[in-house]
Amino acid sequence: NRSIVLASRPHGAPVPADFRLEEHAVPAIANGEVLLRALYLSLDPYMRGRMSDAPSYAAPVEVGAVMVGGTVSRVEASQHGDYAVGDLVVNFGGWQDYSISDGTGLQKLGALASPSHALGVLGMPGFTAYMGLLEIGQPKAGETVVVAAATGAVGAIVGQIAKIKGCRVVGIAGGADKCAYAVKELGFDACIDHRASDFAEQLAAACDKGIDVYYENVGGAVFDAVLPLLNPAARVPLCGLISQYNATSLPDGPDRLSLLMGTLLRKRIRMQGFIIWDDFGHRYGEFFAAMSQWITEGKIKYREDVVQGLENAPQAFIGLLEGKNAGKLVVKVAE
C-alpha cells in the first residue's frame, strides 16, 4: 500500500523532493466502511494550491500527509450495505493505493465506457467547463469566445461547447502541436501559440471582431493580450490562473490595476470567479445528462494523457504546471 505524501512546501515550482513515497500496511475496515483500491488518480492544477499554506478556499495538505486527489476506485472489501466488492466508485482517495470510506462523498460509477472519464470529461473538469462557460460566460451564437489552456481538461471542453452553441472559438495553447490539435481535432476556428513572440498581434488578428467571452484559465501575459480586445459587455468567467500558481511574489513592472479597472468600467465587462463544487455542485446531474448526450452524438472529443504508475505522479504533476500534458492528465494506479 503505497502513498505519496507532501514532504515539504514548494517555494516556486514544485520539485520531486517536495513529495515522498511511503509504504504502509493495507488498512482494515470497520463496520459501515469500504476499502477502496485506486485504479485512476486525477492530477489537477488546484493541487498546487493545496501544497501551499497561503489562504485559499480549501485547507492545505499538512506536511507529511497524503496528497489529496480525485480517484476512480474499486471496492475491495465492504462492510457497507450500499457497496459490494467489485463496485466502481468515484471518491477523493488521494495519491495512494488504498483508502477507506464510510460512503460520504462516494459516487457509484454507472456503465461508463472508460471509467477514467469520470475524472475528466464527465467529472470535475468537464463540469467546470460547462458551468463556467454557460452560466457565467452566457455565450450567444455568432459571438467570439476565447479560451486559454485550450487543449487541456477544461479548455478543450469549453471550446467544443462554445462551438455547439454556434460561437466563433479561438483557443490559446502552448506550441504548434497543441494549436494544430485544437483546430483539426477539436474544431476550433483558430488557435494561437502563447509562446510566439508576436502572440498579442496574432491574437488580435484572429479576433477581428473583438472578444465577447474570455474563459480565463491562465492569467499573466495571456490576459494582458486579451484585455484590450474585450468588447463592451464582455463576460470573463474567472476559472483559473495557472501561470501564477508557482509565483512567489507579484510580478515586476508598472501597476496595471487601474488599466484593468478602467477597462472593466468603461466597457461594462463582467468578470466573475467561481469554485465549481461550492457554486454549482447541485447542478452536476444536469451537466452529466447534457455531456453524456453530446458524447453519444459525437459532438465532444476527449483526449487523456495517461501516466502509468503511482510513483510517477509527482513528475507528471510538475509537468502539468509546465504545459507538458496533452489532454486530461490521469495516473493509472492499478488494473
CB of 100 to ligand NDP, least distance (A): 26
Q: Are the CB atoms for 222 and 171 separated by under 8 Å? A: no
> What's the CA dihedral at 178, 182, 184, 190 to 10 degrees?
-110
Residue with cell 455547439: 164
What are the grid coordinates assigned to 144, written together?
467570439
CB of 83 to ligand NDP, least distance (A): 27
Considering beta carbons, is residue 269 or 330 the nearer one to ligand NDP? 330
- Binding mask of the shown chain, residues 68 to 107, with x at each position contacting ligand NDP by CB under 6 A: ----------------------------------------
In angstroms, the CA 279 to CA 299 distance is 26
In angstroms, the CA 121 to CA 126 distance is 4
In angstroms, the CA 13 to CA 326 distance is 20
- Binding mask of the shown chain, residues 295 to 334, with x at each position contacting ligand NDP by CB under 6 A: -------------------------xx-x-x--x------
Helix (H) or strand (E) holding 38: strand 34-42
Is 274 near ligand NDP (CB under 6 A)?
Answer: yes
Is 10 near ligand NDP (CB under 6 A)?
Answer: no
Considering only residues 114 to 173 of the shown chain, the ones binding ligand NDP according to CB under 6 A are 125, 128, 149, 151-155, 173
Classified as helix, coil or strand, 295 is: helix
CB of 112 to ligand NDP, least distance (A): 19
- A 10 A CB-CB count for 147 gives 36
Cα 283 to the chain's mean position, in Å?
Answer: 18
In angstroms, the CA 205 to CA 255 distance is 27
Sole binder of ligand NDP in the list 119, 169, 222, 227 (CB under 6 A): 222
Of 39-47, 87-95, 206-214, 251-259, which part binds ligand NDP (CB under 6 A)? 39-47
Q: Which residues are near ligand NDP by CB under 6 A?
A: 44-46, 125, 128, 149, 151-155, 173-174, 178, 194, 217-218, 220, 222, 239-240, 242-243, 274-276, 320-321, 323, 325, 328
